[in-house]
Each structure stands twice: as C-alpha cells, then as structure tokens.
Chains A and B, each alone.
Chain A
Amino acid sequence: MVSQVGPASPRRSTDRPALTALCLLALLFCAPALHAAAPADPCTAAYQRDVGRVGGANALQANNVFPVFSSERSASGCVLGSADTTRIPQLIKALRDAQTSSDKVAATAPIFQGTLAELDGFPSTACDEDTLACTAGRQIAAIRALQQALSSNPVDLKSPLIKENNWAFHANDPVTPVSNAKLNALLTNECASGAHSPACLSAVDFAAKVLRTSDAMHELVNVALGPVQEQNARFLAMREKQWNSYLNDVSVQYPWELWINSAIFQKTTSAEERAKFPEAPHSKWVVLHPSPGFERVEADTGGHSTTAAVFMEFLGYERWSWDKTSGAATGRWGASVIASAVDSKGSNAVGYGLLLKTPFKNTAVGVVWRNGDRGHQINVAINIDVSKLIQQYKSTDINQFIGQVVTGQQ
C-alpha cells in the first residue's frame, strides 16, 4: 500500500527562469521554442511515420491528428511501452515488482520525480485556457496534488485525486478530469496549419508527455487502491462460490422448485440488494421432487431385498450456512415427506415415508411405511443425487456410485 511518498522534487524548469518568465508573458508562442530546446518525444517520430502511412500531412485534417497520435501511443509503445525512451517505464516496473509496502513507498517517489521532470521547461501556472502552456501548468499541479494526497497518513482513498477515472483518457473524449487536459482540442488547434507544422509537432510532443504522465499517475493510483481491490476480489470470489454451490453443489432444483425458491428469494431480498450481489439463500424448499433411489423391501417369501425405487418428495425443506472462508454450504440438514414407488412382489406399489437429507454427496436416508402381503412394513430408503454424482464421476457406472455411497467411499 502506498501510504507515504517522498517530498516533491524541485522542478528543473526553474533552471531556465528567463524562458519561463517569457512564457508566462506569451504562453501561446513559447511552445515551439521549448520544443526546439528539448529532445523530441519518442511518440513524435512515430506520429510522423504514421502521418505518412495514412497519405501524408495533406491528407489529414487537423481534427484527425488525435486518433493518429493516440494509435501510435500504444502501437509503438512510445507511452510507457517498449519504445518509451524515458526512464518512467523502468520506475513503474520497479513499483510493480515491489513486494512490501515499504518497497512500494520507496518506488513511488522516483516516479513522481521522473514524471515531473517530463514536464520540465513548461510554465507551472495553472491557468484556465486550453493552451499548451496552461494545460502543462494544470497537469503539473494535479501531479503535485496527487503526490501530496498519497503522502498523507492515512491516505484518503476516497479523494477524487485517487480515483482511476480521474487520470484515465477516454479515446472518445480525451480529457484528464483532474487537470482538464483537452488533448483532442489542443491538437486540433495546434495542427490547423498542417499535420507536420512545427506547432503541430510541438503539440504532439507535449500531448505524449501528458499521456505518459497521466498513465504513470494512473499506475500509482491503481497501486494505492490495491488493498481495496483485494477486499473486493475476496468478496466477489466468495459470492461466486456461494452461488455456484447453491445451484451446482446442493441437490438439484427442478424448474418449479427454482421458481418457488426464486419467488421466496425475491420476497425476502430488497430490490436494492438484488441489484447488487446478494448472498445466496441459506435454505430451499423441496416441492414435488422426483428422484431415483433404493428401498430395502420385504419380499413375499419373507426375506429382504434392495430394490430400485422412484421417490416423490411432496414437500421438504433444507437449510445450511455459508462458510465464511470457503464459501461452501456447511451444517446442511433437511427433511422431506415422500412417496416411494417400487415394483416388488408381495408389496404395495406405493409407500409413504420421511427422508432426512445429509450433506454427504447429497444423499438422503429415510424410512418408508408400506403395506404388503405379509402386513405392514417399515423399510429403509436411500436416495442419491444422481446428476451431481454423474457429473463427478462421468465414467463410472451408476451402480458403482451406489456401492461407494453405501460403503462410504469417496
């Protein structure tokens, strides 16, 4: 977590006080002079190549300059990418590689220094106009404000400065909210005299610096928000496990059951909560739920045999808790009133009973009362979650499942 950063570095622009003073008097006219004094940004050469690729400077209107320039930004990697010849990419890499909080704090200070150095030579007065010089002033002021915000203790993560949205450029409206750097408008204005004019190239050079410094600040903001991201990720992972468990691990709900349980969920969860990521239900009703199973039936000869049965759970209820760490359903219990249909000589085809649900492979055990040739029977019944088991052991025979369930093998 970035909780502190070093002090702001003195700006090297003060090394050229005469030029700076001149700029403050004639903001609009200074950009070309500054450009001539500084080495060209790696994005500027790439931009010039691209103008050639789309038909030359004469083929472009001033308002086409921004998309050409911004394409190059990521295409050539001239902004924080492989073609970026500034030292900022290395500083950011060091930040990403930092493991501990203190390492991250240590890695943050040089990024501020390097970023502010990018804008060296530009006046730092944050005036309102959309000129190159005023924009530079606002950008520098915004970077310093972020430096201050990140150095406070504790860091106010709700500060507008520490917000991803406030440093990002949207291709369709390239303005940085914190510094109100309107690059599309600036390039359109400065390139009115041609896509290769000195003023235009100066503006491209400057625009690259604004993008680079903004992207660098975005990296810092993202790192500062790391602990929040981790909490959010844990929350989402937990919800994912719960809902997956509710629909895929707990015994299957038929469409009518899903509808009934949906209606209950809808009634017991507020609309506001439903529009977010509510917790999965802690219980479900079982209604008219048929399932295959087995019943230990008394034969007409007097012995007992295990025979296939189809259970119909008329009404049942199952509840559980969500484990706070694993997201699994724990402490599950439930019961259903059932009818059991079997084909067994000497016994009535339908018996009635009670099924107790267990969390073990969604199996349920119970008793069935059934009449037969030899009178009243009380039989043991077992029911398994066929679909779940088949999903789990697709290549295994159903009878093997039963054997595993009965013998307790996993």
Chain B
Amino acid sequence: MRKHVLLLVHGMGSYVKNDGAPDDTWFNDTAAALKEQYVKYPIVNLQSFEDRFEIVHINYDIEIFKLVLRWQTESQEIMKQSISAAAPAKALVGWLNNAAKLDDNFAWTHAACVILYWFFPVMRQRIKVSVASQIHDALATNQDGPVSQWSVIAHSLGTIVTHDVLQAMDTTTPNEEGISILDAMVPSATVLAMVANVSKILETDSKVYSGVVVPQSLLQRQSACFSYLSCRNEFDPFMRVNPFDPQGQPAWNLAKTNGTFVDAFIRNVHELNTHSFRNYIVNPDVHIPLFEKLVGPNCITAQQAADARAQFQNVPASTVQTGLQQILAKINPQLASTSNINNWVQLAGLFFAQLKANGVDGLGKAAASAIARAAGIVVPPLPGAAAAPAPAAGRPNG
C-alpha cells in the first residue's frame, strides 16, 4: 500500500544550483520543520513521519532558471563584443547580464519569478505543464499500486502555481470518456495546505474562489481537494495586499462551518523572515488543523491542543506591532494599501532587500528587536548595535 504522498511546492526565491540542478535545501528544511511539530503529538507520531509520508519535491524554479540563464548567456555574448556600433544592442540587453546569478540577486531570484509567472502567460503555461508533469509522475500508479491518499503543502508563489495546476489537471479531459487527468488517477487530495496564501492577488485565468480547487463541500466529490487550509500571518507583509479571504462567499462560509475550509489567520514573529514556511508551521493554529486533516480527526486530543497553544511563545501583539512599525515604515505602507499586483511585486523586492540588510537598521534588526523585547532581552538602542538573534543567513527564500 502506498504511503500518503505529500507534495511540497516552493514559493518565490532560488531553488536551483548554479548548474541548473534542483536545490533541495528548502524542501528538506520544510520537511524538517513539519516533522519537528509532528513528533510532539503521540497519536500523530504513532506512525513515523517517514513511514507515513512519501515527500515529493515539486520544483518549477528549474524552468525559470533555464529561461533567465539563456537571457544571461545571450547578453554576456553580446556584451563581450567590442564593436562600437553595437552600443544600442548592448544597452538593450546589458541589464540581463546577471539574470541567472543566484547569490545577492534578489531582483532576479525573487521578484522575477513572480513577474514571469504573472505577467508572461506563456511562461505561466510552461510552469503549469512542468509542475503538472511532476505531480503526474508522483501520483501515477506504480508497482506498489495506486495512490489513495495525497496532499499538497504549497508556500507563497507556490500557492497560485498549485491552484492553477490542480485546476487544469482536474478540468482537462483529453480522452474519449471525458475523465479529467486527476480523476482518472487519484481521489481528491486529502488536504491542500496553502501557506502564506497569495493565490488571490496573483489569480489569473481561473478564479480562486470559484473553480474546482475548493473544499469538497463546495462541489460534492468533484473538487480537487477534500479540505482546504489557508494560512496567513498578520505580520507577513505579503498578506497585506488582497489576501485570500473568501468572507462573504456563502459556500466558503459553509465550508468553514463544516470544517472542510480552515482559515488560519495567525499573529506571530518567530523568524526574521515572517513570510517563511517555518514561521507559519511553528504556530499550533497552523500545524494542529494541518495534522487533523492529514492524519484524522482528533489525532491531537483537546488537552494536547490546549497545552500546545499555552506553551507556544507567541510574541505579544503590542510588542510585535512596535517592531513591525519600523519594518512597515521601510516598506512604505502606501504600497500595501491597494490591491495592485505592481505594488505586490514592489513589496516583494523591498521586503527581501530589507531582510538582506539585517543588522543595519533593516528588517532583521526590527524583527529581532521585537522578538528580543518579547523575550525580555535588553535591546541596544537602534541604530548601530547588534541585534539579539542571529539573522537569517544566505538566500532567504520566500
């Protein structure tokens, strides 16, 4: 019998190595973050994490990287030429010279993937087909039989990619019988967990509240997933612009009532990068409903849930608010005041630029101060002195 297939879909950022091969770092970190919470609950942990789940990495950044690498290569070849009359051509492509550089290149590694997905429909189709093929391979029947349980955990940009791909896989019927690609292969996903759900602001060809990627109770036995878990954090800047919030949609309200839709709206800052997967999954209000959906109802007893929530070191809202005011001042609240994709992309760039600038009056400093104050640590006055927790190193992926 097959394990529960758990598809992880990454967000914006860099998920390839310099040679274009997939970089599994985020996927491994995400699985580790999930397992950290998993082992805390005895009934959940009756079956080991590894025995219960077959983790599959869904990587679409490899396609984005292929494209920007071609741009970079072409650009570099043109820039090499010493022909003086070629100056206009060089001016046209010079900005593509570092398109595929992975380190310290936030414009390309973070903003570009959002821009390419949203503004370039042909690239969106390329990514959709690539992701669908990966999902198809993961869910196809093999020598151990068919998949009877599968779920998706998608993060950030991965939420809209997952939505669009599942919508396409569950409505495309390339056979005489008229049976969709998903329906012919597997039952509906057990749970679709959309962490840092940006699918509403980035929706394109299909609408996120009214397609087939909705809780089962909206479309009896016809939807792509049984349960839909949407997570947003008040202190995640990307959740400030047109978040996924189907309030006012009667069917979604009903789904919330019957438990097939869970809207986890949290307030916690446990990492400098409040947009990170780990900053979400540490919160019991995120991982408890997720495990309830993945493992079964009441797999976490009421007492265990109450204890987990009581022990959770949630930074007091007032302290977080103070710390975040500094961050939001940098990010320019006006950007977040309208439901505009351009603002969202600018927000992405600014957020990660601030994140990179930790220790120098940036996001890291502000968030670290907030956390340190909540923990009762004396925080040196801003700016200048070092902040308490170590900042996120390397490339902070969305």
Q: Which A residues are closer than 8 A to B by beta carbons?
A: 50, 53-55, 61, 63-64, 66-68, 70-72, 74-75, 77, 79-81, 92, 96, 157-158, 163-174, 177, 184, 215, 218-219, 222, 225-226, 228-229, 231-233, 235-237, 239-240, 243-244, 246-248, 252, 254-255, 258-259, 261-262, 265-266, 271, 274-278, 280-281, 288, 290-292, 308-310, 312, 341-343, 349-350, 386-388, 390-391, 398
A236-B206 contact in complex given A92-B145, A158-B177, A170-B226, C-beta closer than 8 Å: no
The smallest beta-carbon distance between B325 and chain A, in angstroms, is 36
**Segment from B26-34, B84-92, B315-323, B350-358 that makes contact with A:** B84-92
Q: Assess the B187–A165 pair: CB atoms within 8 A.
A: yes
The smallest beta-carbon distance between B109 and chain A, in angstroms, is 16
- Chain A residue contacts of B85, Cβ below 8 A: 310, 341-343, 349-350
Q: Assess the B301–A61 pair: CB atoms within 8 A.
A: yes
Q: Assess the B1–A81 pair: CB atoms within 8 A.
A: yes
* Candidates A171, A177, A274, A310; contact of B89 at CB < 8 Å: A310
A-B contacts, 21 of them at CB < 8 A, read A55-B42, A64-B301, A157-B177, A158-B177, A165-B187, A170-B190, A231-B174, A231-B176, A232-B179, A240-B129, A247-B126, A248-B70, A262-B122, A262-B123, A265-B121, A274-B205, A275-B206, A277-B128, A278-B125, A308-B81, A343-B84
* Candidates A70, A240, A262, A276; contact of B133 at CB < 8 Å: A240
* Candidates A71, A158, A232, A240; contact of B43 at CB < 8 Å: A71
Q: List which B177-222 residues lie within 8 A (CB) of chain A.
A: 177-181, 183-188, 190-191, 204-206, 211, 216, 221
Q: Which residue of A lies closest to B187 (CB)?
A: A168
- Chain B residue contacts of A225, Cβ below 8 A: 179, 184-185
- Chain B residue contacts of A247, Cβ below 8 A: 63, 66-67, 122-123, 126
* Candidates A75, A81, A262, A391; contact of B121 at CB < 8 Å: A262
The smallest beta-carbon distance between B246 and chain A, in angstroms, is 19
Please tell me the number of chain B residues within 8 Å of chain A, measured between CB atoms.
93
The smallest beta-carbon distance between A251 and chain B, in angstroms, is 9
Instruction: Tell me the complex Cα distance, A71–B294, Å.
Output: 11
Q: Assess the A228–B47 pair: CB atoms within 8 A.
A: no
The smallest beta-carbon distance between B162 and chain A, in angstroms, is 14
How many A-B pairs fall under 8 Å by CB? 287
Q: Assess the B296–A174 pair: CB atoms within 8 A.
A: yes
Q: Assess the A290–B92 pair: CB atoms within 8 A.
A: yes
Instruction: Tell me the complex Cα distance, A254–B95, Å.
Output: 11
Instruction: Tell me the complex Cα distance, A218–B227, Å.
Output: 21
Q: Assess the B297–A258 pair: CB atoms within 8 A.
A: no
Q: Assess the A165–B183 pair: CB atoms within 8 A.
A: yes
Q: Which residue of A lies closest to B128 (CB)?
A: A277
A274-B183 contact in complex given A64-B299, A74-B3, A350-B85, C-beta closer than 8 Å: no
- Chain B residue contacts of A229, Cβ below 8 A: 140-141, 184-185
- Chain B residue contacts of A274, Cβ below 8 A: 121, 125, 204-205
A54-B46 contact in complex given A164-B185, A170-B188, A172-B226, C-beta closer than 8 Å: yes
Q: Assess the A266–B121 pair: CB atoms within 8 A.
A: yes
**Closest 3 CB pairs between A and B?**
A168-B187, A290-B89, A235-B174
The smallest beta-carbon distance between A172 and chain B, in angstroms, is 4
Q: Assess the A168–B191 pair: CB atoms within 8 A.
A: no
Q: Assess the A262–B120 pair: CB atoms within 8 A.
A: yes
- Chain B residue contacts of A172, Cβ below 8 A: 190-191, 226-227, 292-294, 296-297
The smallest beta-carbon distance between B121 and chain A, in angstroms, is 5
Instruction: Tell me the complex Cα distance, A235–B169, Å.
Output: 11
Q: Assess the A240–B120 pair: CB atoms within 8 A.
A: no
